[in-house]
Structure 1
Amino acid sequence: MAGRITPAEGRYGGKDAAERRDERRRRFREAGLELFGTGTGYRGTRLGDLCKAAGLSSRQFYEEYRTLEDLLADLHLHVNDVAARAVAEALPRITHLPMAEMLPLAVHAYVKGACADLRHARIAYVEVVGVSPRMDRQRLERRSVWVELINRLAADAVTRGEIPPGNYRITAAAIIGAINGLMHDWVVGWVDATLDEVADELAQMVLGRYRMAG
């Protein structure tokens, strides 16, 4: 399809166009989360499978998205937002703590936010990898947000005198790369551990990076 089909306007079934669109998007997202996040995954899902799972038509799909990749991109942003909210909710309670206490709590908040729903974890760490240059750019853009957050926490620790001044952006990039690598391996079953064990290991790794830097 060259582009999305323009949806009908006006009220239908007691809902206006905006409400119907929100409902369609919700159903397509739920179907995509289930199909991409379990079973056959994104690459094994056909449009017909998705529409059947959503209980909607292909025409209704094209009113919301151009391709299945558009839906994958939408879900990738969604699962990142869920993880970001988990961290944002935790930070006000922990940023007053010393870095050695604060970082493990932040890591646990992130891991639980990203992976408590295993479908989210699979989309974030497995299904989006190698799909297209566009998805690679989106992944890198989202990773850069996490790098900036970690770098800001390090800058705060420098201000408090907990760690010496340094180029902690490199450290933050290394941490995010390691987290993504380990979470990928955990999702696909190459790492036999509970989610708490994974979070504990990542927390120790993060602390180690800053101790070595210091």
Structure 2
Amino acid sequence: MPDRLRAPSGRYAGKSAEERRAERRRRFLDAALELFGAGPGYRSTTVAALSEAAGLSTRQFYEEFRNLEDVLAALHLQVNDRAEAAVLTAAARTAHTPLPERADAVFRAYAADVTGDPRRIRIAFVEIIGVSPRMEEQRLARRAQWVELICAEARAAAARGEAEPRDHRLAATGFIGSVNGLLHDWSADRVEATLDEVVEELVRQLLGILRPPDRVPRRDDRVFRRS
């Protein structure tokens, strides 16, 4: 595979070299989202096909990426970063609400973002699997970030007396597996349930691992449904 080529410098059509490069990269990633996420899939896509879909040349492709795996890696991180931004926004908005309401809002934000485009589900849960040791390492590293986010929420809830003060890492890892499996199956029409019902089930699981098993529910310990 050729080395990455040197991109041109200077301004052209009112845009700097950096701006043109960012636009090219966006076009390649947008085309990859469609080809990898809708069809024919990562394994059946060529550099030539991706370049044609982006309206760019293969030479321009190699100015931005070494190979298609680099594109998949960037797209996988983009999908996860977008979902994380939605989660953090919801968490900030519900910072002072009871744990059940906060968990419901945060998880709805995640589910709405990931399931809002079936192509992103396929990138996050399907196309990334079994590609290479490098991609598996990235997938596990990104999953570890989600686990740490849940553990941070658990520590904060424990400090407020709303969650059991223990190490939640093992439970959080198992929960992430449930999320990935259930949302993927729902998106593939293998689960007879609405998205609301799927989210409510996952929120119940999340609250179950955060709170002590012998804790007596209070009046506000309920999952809030959307109106």
| TM-score class, shorter | over 0.9
The number of residue pairs the alignment matches comes to: 214
Q: Which runs of 5+ in 2 are unaligned?
A: 215-227
**Aligned-partner Cα distance in 2 for 1:5–1:52:** 19
Instruction: Tell me which amino acid in the other structure corresponds to 2:202.
Output: L
Higher helix share: 1
Same amino acid, percent of matched pairs:
53
Letter in 2 for 1:122: R
CA RMSD for the aligned pairs?
1.7
Q: Distance in 2 between matches of 1:19 and 1:95?
A: 37
What per-residue deviation string (whole Å, max 9, x for no partner) do you get for residues 84-134 of structure 1?
110111112212222222212211111112221221111111111111111
Query: What residue in structure 2 maps to residue 81 of structure 1?
Result: 81
Aligned to 2:72: 72
Deviations 1:151-193 (A, max 9, x none): 1111112111223322211111111121112222233332243
The corresponding residue for 2:115 is: 115
CA distance in 1 between partners of 2:111 and 2:43 (Å): 25
Q: How far 1:2 sits from its partner (Å)?
A: 4.0
Unaligned runs of 5+ in 1: none
2:103 maps to: 103
Amino acid at match of 2:76: H
Q: Distance in 2 between matches of 1:165 and 1:197?
A: 29
Amino acid corresponding to residue 81 of structure 1 in structure 2:
D
Change (3 A) 1:7 1:95: same
Q: Distance in 1 between matches of 2:208 and 2:15?
A: 55
TM-score normalised by the chain length of structure 2: 0.88
Within-5 A mapping of 1:40-51? 40-51=40-51
Q: Normalising to structure 1: TM-score of the pair? A: 0.93
CA–CA distance in structure 1, aligned partners of residues 70 and 193 of structure 2: 33
Q: Per-residue deviation at 1:212?
A: 6.0
